[in-house]
């Protein structure tokens, strides 16, 4: 059971990139060297390399053509051709395309949107044997090392490491909810990407950035598990 530690939040900026320019994307930066991420993990080099490689393989880039904008974000693959991402990345989509770690492009459909959290599930027409993520059994404690993976700016996949700063309450698309606060580097386009522990298990879903502290925010894995177990995802309306 994670301990809630008060963390002051300013305005949380959602991290999906939109072609409408509602939230301006930061200038592109080169991805951090993988060696740096390996050195920050408290693991032997072969184990760290394996975890980082696996973290990229389970993560996909998402491009969602909506009614008025192109949403760009990240997501991760679960068994059965299910992909998890943020609701704000794929809200009211007409066409969704995923790009994989090995350069493939796959079509997907939005299967459901969570009505009380920034989560969405997609279904692949053909999962093509993609590597799948393992979900951690519980939300991490403050101080836990974490790995954030995503496609900032819609560019190449990046991996950053950090720790859980705390667990706090925040506004998530109009709903008050518990969120994980991390100091790993997170940028726009990381929305929907996995937050992993040092074993490579998903502990959260990245969704926003606290503008004052620069800390990343993630929906806890416990929230995701609850929504998946209860099948608490509504079908998208499809209306613009």
User: Domains in the chain, start-ordered, CATH in brackets?
Assistant: 56-132 (2.40.10.10)
Q: Contact 139/204 with Cβ under 8 angstroms?
A: yes
215 labelled catalytic: no
Q: What's the chain's length in residues?
A: 240
- Cβ neighbourhood burial of 5 (10 Å; 0-12, 13-18, 19+): middle
Q: Which two tokens stand for residue 40?
A: 């920050």
Q: Phi, psi (5° rounding) for residue 20? A: -80, -15
88 labelled catalytic: yes
Centre a 10 Å sphere on the Cβ of residue 143 and count the other Cβ atoms it contains. Answer: 11
- The whole-angstrom separation of Cα 195 and Cα 79 is 18
118 labelled catalytic: yes
| Nearest C-alpha neighbor of 66 from the set 25, 13, 17 | 17
- The whole-angstrom separation of Cα 108 and Cα 126 is 8
What pLDDT is stored for residue 49 in this prediction? 83
Report pLDDT digits (tens) over 11-31: 455 655 443 322 333 333 444
Q: Contact 160/32 with Cβ under 8 angstroms?
A: yes
Q: Contact 137/117 with Cβ under 8 angstroms?
A: no
Report pLDDT digits (tens) over 102-114: 999 999 999 999 9
Report whether pLDDT(61) > 70.
yes
Question: The whole model's pTM is what?
Answer: 0.83
Which DSSP helix (H) or strand (E) runs through 34?
helix 34-40
What pLDDT is stored for residue 140 in this prediction? 92
Catalytic annotation, pick one of 18, 88, 160, 222: 88
What pLDDT is stored for residue 37 in this prediction? 63
**Mean per-residue pLDDT over the chain, rounded:** 81
Catalytic annotation, pick one of 91, 117, 118, 197: 118
- Cβ neighbourhood burial of 125 (10 Å; 0-12, 13-18, 19+): exposed
Q: Contact 157/61 with Cβ under 8 angstroms?
A: yes
Report pLDDT digits (tens) over 198-227: 999 999 999 988 888 889 999 999 999 999
Q: Contact 93/70 with Cβ under 8 angstroms?
A: no
- The whole-angstrom separation of Cα 83 and Cα 81 is 7
**SS3 state at 154:** helix
Catalytic annotation, pick one of 55, 191, 210, 215: 191
């Amino acid at each position: 059971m994670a301990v809630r530690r008060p963390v002051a939040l300013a305005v949380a900026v959602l991290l999906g990139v939109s072609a409408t320019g509602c939230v301006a994307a930061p200038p592109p930066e080169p991805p951090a060297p993988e060696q740096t991420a390996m050195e920050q993990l408290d693991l032997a080099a072969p184990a760290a390399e394996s975890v980082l490689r696996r973290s990229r393989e389970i993560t996909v880039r998402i491009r969602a053509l909506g009614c008025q904008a192109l949403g760009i974000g990240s997501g991760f693959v679960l068994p059965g051709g299910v992909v998890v991402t943020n609701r704000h990345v794929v809200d009211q989509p007409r066409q969704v395309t995923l790009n994989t770690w090995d350069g493939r492009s796959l079509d997907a459909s939005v299967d459901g949107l969570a009505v009380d959290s920034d989560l969405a599930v997609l279904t692949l027409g053909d999962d093509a044997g993609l590597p799948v993520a393992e979900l951690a059994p519980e939300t991490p404690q403050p101080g836990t090392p974490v790995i954030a993976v995503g496609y900032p700016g819609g560019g190449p996949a990046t991996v950053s490491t950090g720790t859980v700063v705390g667990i706090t309450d925040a506004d998530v698309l109009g709903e008050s909810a518990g969120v994980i606060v991390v100091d790993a580097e997170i940028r726009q386009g990381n929305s929907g990407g996995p937050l992993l522990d040092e074993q490579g298990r998903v502990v959260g879903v990245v969704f926003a950035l606290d503008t004052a502290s620069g800390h990343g925010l993630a929906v806890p894995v416990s929230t995701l598990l609850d929504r998946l177990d209860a099948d608490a995802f509504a079908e998208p309306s499809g209306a613009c």
